[in-house]
Structures are given as C-alpha cells and as structure tokens.
C-alpha cells in the first residue's frame, strides 16, 4: 500500500499573504512533496488577521508548478455560487494540466454565512452542499473548457468523526478528509474506525482516497505515518500553521521533504 504526501497551508494570519503561500508551494514541489492543499476561509476568528483568497492563490501555484496535486481543502461550497465555482475549477484543471482535487465541506465558521445575510443552519448548509455537488458535476460536462481529468475532477468531502453524515456524503464521491472531535492528535484506532465505516458504506475502497492532516518531525516521520497507511491512509497532509512555528518553521519542514519510505 502506498501513500502520497502533501503540504497543508492555512490562508489566514501570517499565512494570509498570497506571495508567501506561492513561495511555500513552489518549495514543496522542489523538495519532493506530492501535493499542496490550502484552507478556505473568507473571515477568521481574529479580525486583524489577513485572509488570502484560496482560489486566486491556487491559480498562481498552478502557473508556477508542473507536478504537484493542488486543491482547496475544503471549499465551503454552500456559501459560493456553484456556476462560478464550476468555471473556476474547470479552468484550474486545464491550467494545471489535470492536477486539481476539489474538496467540499459545510465550512467551520457560522459567521462566514450569517455576516452576509445567509442562513448558517447546518441542515440548510448540508442540503445546499449536496445539491451544489450534483450541479457542479453537471456543469463540468456542460461548460467549455471542460476539465482535463476524466471522468471528472476528483471530489473529496470533509467529515467530523464521530458524526456520520459527512462520511456518508464522502462515500458517494472520490475521497474524504476527516477531522475528529477528539482533537488534532487522532489515534490510529479512531482513524481505522473511519476507514471501516467508509468501506461498509461503499462496499470497496478501491480508487477512493483517504487523507489525514497531521505533523511529523524533520526526521523519522515514517514511524508516525506507517500505522495510518496500514489502516488505509492514501494521503498524508503535513499540517503547517501558527501553532507549530509559523511560516519560518513551514519553510524548514518543507525543505526537509516528506517522510518517504513508508
């Protein structure tokens, strides 16, 4: 069983500078990482923090790289116009030569809806997400230019374990990126529960991606990642952020490269 390695970058705070994010992404490709994935926020909890537009940044990254997979994990689709997202993502897939992953979620901040007069109720957002994904796939086939990837751009969905609804949604698409109510430091046992649930929902995990965000050191990260790979992990997303040394540490960790050898 093999695993791919990505760098996960916030788009807020000291990571809210578009040029910095592009610099880190280019470095990730140069140092052997397989992907770069950005957060999606319109606002953040500290109103004094800058927030970069992830679609603009991913476009710049696509133009500056040739190999790495790209995506926004996760796009809060219920607060976006689906037809605009369809145009953006199809164009991004063409621009990148078929390297885009589309992540979809409800969004983690109610204020990103309520502040602009939109209904922030979870049930409403969930219904809009399901309808939006169906419409998005139809528009990818209808609009020109069409995405490069066939049968479509891969769609990964978010889920927050132990709630099941997000994982049932993800099982209908191409991948999942779970978060956990227990916090960032998830155990292999809890991760394996997610994998078993998805396998039962789908019947097979063939061709299905399971991503997990976590942290490894400059050396010896293989020992951290290997048990998750054995449990079914296909993408390890190395989490960068202000909580682990900020941009300066992100530069160092990216330059050290992914923990190959698992």
Domain spans, the chain: 4-256
143 contact partners, CB below 8 Å, separation of at least 6: 86, 87, 90
Query: Between 3.10.290.20, 3.90.226.10, 3.20.20.30, 3.30.360.10, what CATH number should domain 4-256 receive?
Result: 3.20.20.30
The alpha-carbon radius of gyration of the chain (Å, integer) is 17
Residues 20-48 have a mean pLDDT of 97
pLDDT at position 1: 66
In the three-class reduction of DSSP (H, G, I as helix; E, B as strand; rest coil), residue 176 is classed as strand
What gap in Å lies between CA 64 and CA 143, rounded to an integer?
A: 25
In the three-class reduction of DSSP (H, G, I as helix; E, B as strand; rest coil), residue 99 is classed as coil
Split at pLDDT 50, 70, 90, the class of 261 is confident
Q: Is 66 exposed, middle or buried (0-12, 13-18, 19+ CB in 10 A)?
A: exposed
- Residues forming a β-bridge with 238: 7, 214
**pLDDT at residue 4 above 80?**
yes
Q: How far is CA 14 from CA 17, 35, 250, 256, in A?
A: 7, 21, 11, 21
Structure tokens that stand for 2 in this block? 């093999």
Residues 144-171 have a mean pLDDT of 97
Split at pLDDT 50, 70, 90, the class of 178 is very high
pLDDT tens figures, 182-200: 888 899 999 999 999 999 9
What is this structure's pTM? Answer: 0.96
**pLDDT at residue 103 above 80?**
yes
- Residues forming a β-bridge with 7: 36, 238
């Amino acid at each position: 069983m093999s695993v791919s390695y990505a760098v996960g970058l916030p788009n807020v705070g000291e990571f809210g500078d578009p040029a910095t994010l592009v610099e880190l992404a280019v470095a990730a490709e140069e140092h052997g990482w397989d992907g770069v994935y950005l957060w999606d926020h319109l606002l953040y909890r500290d109103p004094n923090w800058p927030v970069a537009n992830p679609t603009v940044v991913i476009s710049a990254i696509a133009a500056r790289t040739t190999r790495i997979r790209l995506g926004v994990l996760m796009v809060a689709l219920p607060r976006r116009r689906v037809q605009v997202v369809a145009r953006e993502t199809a164009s991004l897939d063409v621009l990148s030569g078929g390297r885009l992953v589309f992540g979809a979620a409800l969004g983690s901040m109610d204020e990103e809806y309520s502040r602009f007069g939109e209904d922030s109720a979870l049930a409403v957002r969930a219904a809009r997400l399901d309808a939006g994904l169906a419409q998005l796939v139809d528009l990818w086939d209808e609009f020109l230019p069409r995405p490069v990837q066939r049968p479509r751009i891969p769609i990964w969905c978010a889920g927050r374990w132990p709630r099941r609804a997000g994982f049932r949604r993800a099982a209908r698409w191409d991948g999942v990126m779970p978060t956990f109510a227990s916090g960032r430091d998830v155990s292999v046992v809890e991760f394996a529960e997610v994998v078993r649930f998805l396998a039962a929902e789908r019947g097979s995990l063939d061709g299905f991606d399971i991503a997990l965000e976590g942290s490894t050191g400059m050396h010896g990260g293989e020992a951290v990642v290997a048990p998750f790979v054995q449990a079914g992990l296909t993408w390890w997303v190395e989490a960068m952020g202000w909580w682990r040394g900020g941009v300066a540490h992100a530069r160092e960790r990216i330059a050290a490269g992914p923990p190959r050898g698992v």
